[in-house]
Structure 1
Amino acid sequence: MKFGVGQPVRRFEDTRLLRGKGRFQDDIHLPGQLYTVFVRSQHAHARIRSIDTAAAQAIPGVVAIYTGADYAADGLGMPKATMPRKKADGSPMFAPQRPALVVDRARYVGDPLAMVIAQTLAQAKDAAELVAVDYEALPSVTSTALAAQPDAPRVWDENPDNISHTYERGDRAATEAAFARAHRIVRRRYVISRVHAQYMEPRGALGTYDAGEDRLTLYADVNYPHRVRNMLANQVFKVPESKVRVVSQDVGGGFGLKGWQYVEHRLTLWAARKLERPVRWTCERSETLMADEHGRDNIGDIELALDADGTIIGLRLAMLANIGAYIGSDRQLLTPFGMIGTVVGVYRIPAAYVRIDAVLSNTNPTAPYRGAGRPEAIYLIERAMEAAAAEMGIDPIALRRRNIIPPAMMPYKNPLGPLYDCGAFEKNMDMALQAADQAGFAARRAEAARRGRLRGFGLANAIEQAAGPQPEYAEIRFNPGGTAMLMLGTKTHGQGHETAFKQILHERLGIDPRDVQYIEGDTDRVAFGMGSAGSRSMVIGGAALVLASDKIVAKGKTIAAHMLEAAVADIVFAENKFTVAGTDRAVSLKQVAMAAFQPARLPTGTEPGFYEHATFSPTHDTYPNSCHVCEVEVDPETGNVQLMSYAVVDDVGTVINPLTLKGQIHGGVAQGVGQVLMEQVVFDPDSGQLLTGSFMDYAMPRADTMCDIAVTSQPVPTRHNPLGAKGAGEAGCVGALPAVMIAVMNALAPLGVTELDMPATGDRVWQAIRAARAGAAPPA
């Protein structure tokens, strides 16, 4: 089928996006709107003695200035975490809620203190500069490792050790027994740096209030409009969901960090209701790293227990995970806690135990960022595999092959809980090695040496836990003229959902995509939805669309049978037509749809209209998997790392669109490369000041950072959803972190460099080379 599943269809949405006809957050303006600017804390930790707004109030055009005391006086609520977690001693988790506006103490640079609202943005900015805050600076801690030390400054006086809670998985006793009988134990500590999504369009919010309907509407670039609405209605404003509407149109990139509980959402709505005028906030690029949640930031002490022949018999992991100053919702508990179950990778490790301490610090809260714990888990196991191979004198590919889970063992329940239902992991690896021409690497390394370069080869097997069991909604609504509307509860933020969902609809019903209007992102137009996160949209939303399509076919057969004067059992549907089996008598889907709105043409007892909906809720997660192979060259005189080649063999289950899939893989790889080679959010260790607040300081990958990326699909469809899809959104990033870093370490190995944490910037690599030559420790 021309537009069906598996076809490389060009994205339908690109026609308007490339012509500048998109409708992003900054394109939305309402009559009479006001502008708001937030006064943010200049200190990482400080007591707020007072906030003087008198001078700011005198600025022409200023309409209102609100503080946390005003918010509290109105009795509005705050979201909170609900996941069951405890401290190591069994006491309840310490989960400090995030205030909309700080009242007494700021706990990171950028913590919002006051909201200045004016007729123009310039007036709001001028007034914000005149808000006088009397701070009493307090000691702060931003380092993950230091925050967990007994003598670290306390982020919250009520919590004496900065540990919010401890999370455990696996069989501790069985794991200890495995380590007790091990021939060799390999131990390593790996630091996974803090990063930011750096999407194309920074966040924004536009709140408005209709006094006649007593109804709030939020326009925001969010991943989950319905969840945002439910949170605002139930937890903040305490009104029925029908009193709140959330609209999310084109989103200029999200990657997980445009979440559902940012304080600016509730504050713009609150102010709009108080002033009865729309209130608009646009985050400027210089404000993003202070205003947003961050990603990653954890330290893993991983251990492998091995037999004499290199068979892994046990894995232990002790991790510190920096969750920032607040736990504003369950989002802060998802990374890496929810995805650490895949830290055993694609290997048959019989016993494993994981302990994660969630560490509070004077930093922005952390939350899911592309991969949301999956890249961290695979980074740990794959680097540990390399270390084990080196210590035991075994080729790293051979060590992986010796321990990899074979297809005959599927379904395979790993010792931390995840149930891998299907996959051909060794085949992935073989195909990737062939695609990367591993056999020719020695010659390429020798040629690079003649040019004074160090060539490195890195391979990583990746698997991730995706598309968790939550429901998703799809609706197909035909118009009387025979065209259709397609409504999904997911939310695209650049992935090409419109194209992929229209392909599924075309595959099931044969509808020309040009006859389909795609609708999403509006809680008034789409009945229900959980949004897009964790590679769930095609897996669960697509499955819901399949079920809704089946209902359309079932009703269509009843109507077609009446139109063709045949029995329903004799009607078959294929290629957009209902046909009487064994004959050439047929009517098109469009004819049936039109007839459905004409009661006289319907069989007795059939309800007029042609619209069906479905909600699909999976019973199991899916497990996309892949093998990444990367080659780099390092200039030992400068430390500069250059990507030379990159190959990916991926299994995302059924491929809906190979063209957009490759785009997803390419984008994920680029984000992984960026984190490994250059990206990092850095705070001054003494003052807690953000040192990487702009692109002058926060390095980002450019086109010349990347190389060609060869992507090959090797799908093994899952049986846990009607499409057989496993999900693709995180796939590129999950394998990229370890593959690139392993390649860098492989290049540096001949010089004696054995330890280096990301980011592998030219300066850090150069220092590591110098330290190895001098027999010193690598850079921290």
Structure 2
Amino acid sequence: MTSVLTTATPDRAPRVANPQIGAPLRRREDHRLLTGAARYLDDLDLPGCYEAAFLRSPHASARIVAIDTSTAAALPGVFGVWTGADLRVLAKGIPPKVTHPQLRDIPRLPLPPESVHFVGEPVAVVVAVSRHVAEDALELIDAEYDVLPAVSSTGAALADGAPLVHDEMDSNVAVHVIQTAGDPDAALAGAPHRLRERFTVARGGGHSMETRGVVGSYDAATGQLTVWDTTQSPHYVRNQLAYLYEVPEDDIRVVAPPDVGGGFGPKAQFYGEEAVIPYLAKILRHPVKWIEDRQENFVATMMERTQVHDVEIGFDDEGHILAVRNVFQHDQGAYCAGLQVPMITLSTLPGQYRIPNIHSELIACYTNMVPTSSVRGAGRPQAVVAMERMVDRAAEHLGMDPAEFRRRNLVPADEFPYRVGLTFRDGSPLTYDSGDYPQLLEAVLARLDYDGERERQRELQAQGRLIGIGLAAYVEGCGLGPYEGSRFRLANDGTIIVTLAAAPQGQGYETVYAQIAADALGMDMDLIRVTTGDTSRIPFGQGTFASRNTATAGPATLQAGREMREKLFLVAEAMLKTSSEGLVLVGDRICVADEQERGVSLREIAQAANVGKHGITLAPGILPGLETTSYFAPERAAYASGTHAVVVEVDPETGGIEIHKYVIGHDCGTVINPLLVDGQVLGGFAHGIGNALYEEPFYDETGQPQSTSYLDYALPSAVEVPPVELVHLHTPSPLNPLGAKGAGEGGTIPVPAAIANAVEDALRPFGARITELPLSPAKVVGAMTAAPGA
């Protein structure tokens, strides 16, 4: 049975004596993770598996003159060496994940045969008896390049006379999109107050503990290609492979291991290596494995964040925002893997504020750097920086407290659903489904003791200490479509197997979806097993990204579970020869309510309905094959929200920033497991600390990366992540029966803006301006010395 869930609740929902939704249960996954029993992709031990290594371009822009692989191919232990010229069958171009009618797309080839456009782009692959031999062979490949001028920033890409990243284009602009609401030009022209500023947010990576990896194995007897992949989206990988190989999708099985050392967005994309390795496994009729090393991860895995925002705000004497204009440059990298990030930035700008006139303009540029795509937050942190920094500037201009300025502009709770006037990246009108932004702000201010901290700030400033308080709010579009599915099957041992298409990246799917299934079935969680990320177990799916699964796979699980319960009771009714209305589920048995000694176990139901007796007709009322599948397609995105508050101290001698206090207010609708949601928010916060204070890759003017190890690229450790206080507000979404939104990225999104606001507040006696992130000590000192009051 397959259904598309569009209504809130079915006719017969079980009465759950001990509901699991909302319970703070520890993750089932943790025991194996903490005891070393987890199995990651590189733990996959296929007998006789060959290993691969890729030769990567040392230049950011060059034509390939020649590649001589003969010496490498002759090395003992090498089974083959291939270049893009040898694998032209794959040279169809990898389509962007999210596109736009105005996008000028340049094909992204798995192994480009003629030219390279960023340092780290793969140009050849070696398959050998081991990775060591394969890497030795790489040293023997003689590649000759004609080096060309490179473009290493959006500013350079847009400059007059700039070199072209792609010869077939007449400029470096990939796409130029404008969205407006109201009449922003007139509103800005008539505004009593107008402020302008430019803000820059630097690149950053996902930096998962486990890097990318893929293993391919071809079964000549069945004609099926099995691919193990550290992807967040196994069905997406299957579909891309079927397209590139020109084979039916059923000929390819993609498995995402249940234990994955993080994803954060880069693993939701499709890379050339994922096309090459399975293809070579098919050619060689032998399993082939490739595991990305950390140096490759720095230069070849997609990044995000680089944007330059020119933002203008207009407001009146009372502090009401009349209009905002934001024109931003987005670094797309050498190719367009997808436009999801800048399109999200484009519509995220207004945040929690009621702004009648909006101009949001995107200029996405090709540059000679690794392509960009989603990293936790996916375009939202940049938009929040642009908006929240200008909110603080406007409050300062009026001499108004920044919290009071926000109060006067927040969307009121009684105006939901609230239509912003723009279009979200899912193609639907940007409409906030639910929330209470004023209450969330007040809860955060109270937990921070905002008034008390302001008094403390004045006292310490009188002593010469630089104390600052920062606020930042956000709205996060999540629960994106087009759909997600869940499949239930009664196993012969009497347990229920729940299968999800989405692949977890550490969120605790085996626990959360068992909780939802337990409530849907009215059954103990111990009888439920959750499996994920295998295209052979469930035919369709989208994947794990955009804080979407609880609001999509969750409702699908709820519906499929309720349908499975109906089937179980109908079969029990036939076996017990009584009405299902008089039956109850007790443990693993369905019993007659008034005489519970009369009952059948789930194992017995499975034997009757799923196994049967060969050649014997099923008894009347026995349903063959107890399984259900449900797909949930949301009407549009749901919108989580949050408000952060932080108190910092700046060392005027060194520019060092110390966080004294941090409060996170968070609203993700209905919470399935509070313990896991807290973990997601805190993990996201750590990521945000990195974006705000530490993580910044550097490139020289030729596009050469200068920070390709953790000696040069700073990630926050437990020492750098301060204690946090959490405040939760729950406004259920009306768009799905669980009322769920998303929680995976909210902890990250406003952190850079909140800390930048706090640091500028601390430096206000100098008149210093913070316009670039991350905030290294050198940038802080530079802002102080450049300030009028220095």
Decide: shared fold, TM above 0.5: yes
**2:175 equivalent to 1:165:** yes
1:466: Cα distance to partner? 0.8
Q: Name the CA distance, whole Å, in 2 between partners of 1:727 and 1:112.
A: 35
Q: Name the CA distance, whole Å, in 2 between partners of 1:31 and 1:564.
A: 50
1:742: Cα distance to partner? 1.3
Aligned to 2:409: 403
Q: Summarize the Cα distance change of 1:86–1:554 in structure 2 as closer, same or farther, 3 Å threshold.
A: closer
Aligned to 1:125: 135
AA in 2 matched with 1:48: I
Aligned to 2:353: 347
Q: Summarize the Cα distance change of 1:772–1:579 in structure 2 as closer, same or farther, 3 Å threshold.
A: same
Aligned to 2:231: 222
Q: Name the CA distance, whole Å, in 2 between partners of 1:727 and 1:475.
A: 22
Q: Summarize the Cα distance change of 1:462–1:585 in structure 2 as closer, same or farther, 3 Å threshold.
A: farther
1:673: Cα distance to partner? 1.0
**Residue in structure 2 matching 1:614, options 609, 630, 652:** 630
Aligned to 2:213: 204
Query: Number of residue pairs matched?
Result: 763
- Could you tell me whether the CA contact under 8 Å between 1:374 and 1:465 is conserved in 2? no
Aligned to 1:240: 248
**Residue in structure 2 matching 1:413, options 419, 432, 442:** 419
| TM-score normalized with structure 1 length | 0.93
AA in 1 matched with 2:328: M
AA in 2 matched with 1:547: Q
Aligned to 1:764: 779
1:55: Cα distance to partner? 2.7
Q: Summarize the Cα distance change of 1:176–1:576 in structure 2 as closer, same or farther, 3 Å threshold.
A: farther
3-state SS of the aligned residue for 1:130? coil
Q: Summarize the Cα distance change of 1:588–1:390 in structure 2 as closer, same or farther, 3 Å threshold.
A: farther
Q: Name the CA distance, whole Å, in 2 between partners of 1:155 and 1:744.
A: 37
**2:295 equivalent to 1:294:** no
AA in 2 matched with 1:224: S
- Could you tell me whether the CA contact under 8 Å between 1:228 and 1:261 is conserved in 2? yes
Aligned to 1:743: 758
- Could you tell me whether the CA contact under 8 Å between 2:92 and 2:109 is conserved in 1? no
3-state SS of the aligned residue for 2:472? strand
1:578: Cα distance to partner? 6.2
Aligned to 2:198: 189
- Could you tell me whether the CA contact under 8 Å between 1:467 and 1:622 is conserved in 2? yes
1:680: Cα distance to partner? 1.0
For residues 94-144 of structure 1, give each alpha carbon's deviation from its aligned partner in whole angstroms, at most 9, with x where no partner exists: 211111112222111111111122212221111111212212211111112
* Stretch of structure 1 that moved more, 61-70 or 513-522: 513-522
- Could you tell me whether the CA contact under 8 Å between 1:412 and 1:420 is conserved in 2? yes
AA in 1 matched with 2:452: G
Q: Name the CA distance, whole Å, in 2 between partners of 1:619 and 1:320.
A: 31
Q: Summarize the Cα distance change of 1:490–1:674 in structure 2 as closer, same or farther, 3 Å threshold.
A: same
Q: List aligned pairs for 1:563-574, cutoff 5 A.
A: 565-568=577-580
Aligned to 2:660: 644
Q: Name the CA distance, whole Å, in 2 between partners of 1:165 and 1:359.
A: 7
AA in 1 matched with 2:152: T
For residues 594-650 of structure 1, give each alpha carbon's deviation from its aligned partner in whole angstroms, at most 9, with x where no partner exists: 564586998724423432121111112100011111111111111111222111111
**2:36 equivalent to 1:11:** no
Aligned to 1:356: 362
**2:634 equivalent to 1:634:** no
1:515: Cα distance to partner? 2.4
**2:387 equivalent to 1:371:** no
1:390: Cα distance to partner? 1.4
Q: Name the CA distance, whole Å, in 2 between partners of 1:579 and 1:632.
A: 61
AA in 1 matched with 2:134: A
**2:320 equivalent to 1:281:** no
Q: Summarize the Cα distance change of 1:19–1:642 in structure 2 as closer, same or farther, 3 Å threshold.
A: same
Q: Name the CA distance, whole Å, in 2 between partners of 1:506 and 1:209.
A: 38
- Could you tell me whether the CA contact under 8 Å between 1:626 and 1:648 is conserved in 2? yes
Q: Name the CA distance, whole Å, in 1 between partners of 2:494 and 2:248.
A: 36
Aligned to 1:486: 498
Q: Summarize the Cα distance change of 1:593–1:649 in structure 2 as closer, same or farther, 3 Å threshold.
A: farther
* Stretch of structure 1 that moved more, 444-453 or 763-772: 444-453
Aligned to 2:126: 116
- Could you tell me whether the CA contact under 8 Å between 1:564 and 1:585 is conserved in 2? no
1:215: Cα distance to partner? 2.2
3-state SS of the aligned residue for 1:96? coil
Aligned to 2:426: none
Q: List aligned pairs for 1:84-103, cutoff 5 A.
A: 85-87=100-102, 93-103=103-113
Q: Name the CA distance, whole Å, in 2 between partners of 1:480 and 1:130.
A: 56
**2:346 equivalent to 1:336:** no
Aligned to 1:387: 393
Aligned to 1:459: 471
AA in 1 matched with 2:674: P
- Could you tell me whether the CA contact under 8 Å between 1:501 and 1:542 is conserved in 2? yes
3-state SS of the aligned residue for 2:772? coil
Aligned to 1:135: 145
1:559: Cα distance to partner? 3.2
AA in 2 matched with 1:226: H
AA in 1 matched with 2:254: V
For residues 537-560 of structure 1, give each alpha carbon's deviation from its aligned partner in whole angstroms, at most 9, with x where no partner exists: 111001100000110222233234
**2:523 equivalent to 1:511:** yes
- Could you tell me whether the CA contact under 8 Å between 1:339 and 1:465 is conserved in 2? no
Aligned to 2:742: 727
Q: Name the CA distance, whole Å, in 1 between partners of 2:635 and 2:686.
A: 32
- Could you tell me whether the CA contact under 8 Å between 1:490 and 1:532 is conserved in 2? yes
AA in 2 matched with 1:760: L
Q: Name the CA distance, whole Å, in 2 between partners of 1:340 and 1:596.
A: 53
Q: List aligned pairs for 1:664-703, cutoff 5 A.
A: 664-685=680-701, 687-703=702-718
1:338: Cα distance to partner? 3.4
**Residue in structure 1 matching 2:281, options 268, 272, 297:** 272
AA in 1 matched with 2:253: R
- Could you tell me whether the CA contact under 8 Å between 2:574 and 2:621 is conserved in 1? no
3-state SS of the aligned residue for 1:675? helix
Q: List aligned pairs for 1:702-713, cutoff 5 A.
A: 702-713=717-728
For residues 192-238 of structure 1, give each alpha carbon's deviation from its aligned partner in whole angstroms, at most 9, with x where no partner exists: 111011110111111222222222221110001011001101x2101
1:379: Cα distance to partner? 2.0
Q: Name the CA distance, whole Å, in 1 between partners of 2:602 and 2:621.
A: 21
Q: Percent identity?
A: 36
Q: Name the CA distance, whole Å, in 2 between partners of 1:557 and 1:697.
A: 62
Q: Name the CA distance, whole Å, in 2 between partners of 1:588 and 1:446.
A: 72
Aligned to 1:541: 553
| TM-score normalized with structure 2 length | 0.92
3-state SS of the aligned residue for 2:530? strand
Q: Summarize the Cα distance change of 1:606–1:404 in structure 2 as closer, same or farther, 3 Å threshold.
A: same
Q: Name the CA distance, whole Å, in 2 between partners of 1:141 and 1:731.
A: 33
Q: Name the CA distance, whole Å, in 2 between partners of 1:267 and 1:617.
A: 33
- Could you tell me whether the CA contact under 8 Å between 2:644 and 2:663 is conserved in 1? yes
Q: Name the CA distance, whole Å, in 2 between partners of 1:204 and 1:584.
A: 52
1:737: Cα distance to partner? 2.3
3-state SS of the aligned residue for 1:246? strand
Q: Name the CA distance, whole Å, in 2 between partners of 1:360 and 1:513.
A: 50
Q: Name the CA distance, whole Å, in 2 between partners of 1:665 and 1:154.
A: 41
Q: Name the CA distance, whole Å, in 1 between partners of 2:586 and 2:351.
A: 42
AA in 2 matched with 1:692: S
**2:36 equivalent to 1:26:** no
3-state SS of the aligned residue for 1:289? helix
Aligned to 2:184: 175
- Could you tell me whether the CA contact under 8 Å between 1:559 and 1:603 is conserved in 2? no
- Could you tell me whether the CA contact under 8 Å between 1:3 and 1:9 is conserved in 2? no
CA root-mean-square deviation? 2.3
**2:305 equivalent to 1:305:** no
- Could you tell me whether the CA contact under 8 Å between 1:633 and 1:644 is conserved in 2? yes
